[in-house]
A and B are shown apart, each in its own frame.
Chain A
Amino acid sequence: EVQLVESGGGLIQPGGSLRLSCAASGLTVNGNSMNWVRQAPGKGLEWVSIIYSGGSTYYADSVKGRFTISRDNSKNTLHLQMNSLRAEDTAVYYCTRDGDGVPCEYWGQGTLVTVSS
Chain B
Amino acid sequence: DIQMTQSPSTLSASVGDRVTISCRASQSINIELAWYQQKPGKAPKVLIYKASALESGVPSRFSGSGSGTEFTLTISSLQPDDFATYYCQQHYGHPRTFGQGSKVEIK
Q: Which residues does A use to contact B, with CB under 8 Å? A: 35, 44-47, 50, 58-61, 94, 101-105, 107-110
Other-chain residue from A35, A104, A109, A110 in contact with B46 (beta carbon distance below 8 A): A104
Cβ of B99: which chain A residues have Cβ within 8 Å of it?
44
- Majority-rule SS of B interface residues: loop
Per the CB 8 Å criterion, the residue count for chain B at the interface is 23
Q: A101-B50, A103-B89 are in contact. Are A35 and B96 (CB under 8 A)?
A: yes
**A-B contact list, 16 entries, CB within 8 Å:** A44-B98, A44-B101, A45-B38, A45-B89, A46-B98, A58-B95, A60-B95, A102-B34, A102-B55, A103-B89, A103-B96, A104-B89, A105-B49, A105-B55, A107-B45, A109-B43
Please give me the 6 A-B residue pairs with the lowest Cβ-Cβ distance, nearest first.
Answer: A107-B43, A58-B94, A103-B91, A44-B101, A47-B96, A45-B98
Whose C-beta in chain B lies nearest to the C-beta of A104? B46
